Amino acid sequence: MLLSTMRSLPIATVILVMGASFTVQAMKRLEVDFAYVAEKAERLSRKSFKSAGKKTPEELRELNFDEYRKIRIVPEETFWMSEGMPFQVQFYHLGYLYNEPVAFNEFTKTHAQRIPYV
């Protein structure tokens, strides 16, 4: 994860962007404020849903409810836990009914970057 990189960044906002790929992208330097995020969300909301095209492995797609709920989050792996922030992000695993990947992006006042989730 990018936890070592994240330590130097100020508190950030996570924006969910449906249907984007999970490839790790380099950090971009740009001016990010509420207006920027609102405009980006508005622009994306006008587009039709487009699947990322990534296939969830068959073993995960075929999990039943009881099998899926046995998957547990490892608290020590919680995103931003070690940074001492007033919030954390826990990513749930693909599988069962949840087979469409969701891309997570972090925005600070000066940067936007994809949060890798594998």
Q: Per-residue pLDDT averaged across 40-56, rounded?
A: 88
Q: Judge whether residue 11 has pLDDT over 50.
A: no
Q: Which amino acid is at 10?
A: P
Handedness of CA 24, 105, 115, 6 (dihedral sign): positive
C-beta neighbour count of 65 within 10 angstroms? 9
Rounded Cα distance, 19 and 21, in Å: 7
Q: Judge whether residue 4 has pLDDT over 50.
A: no
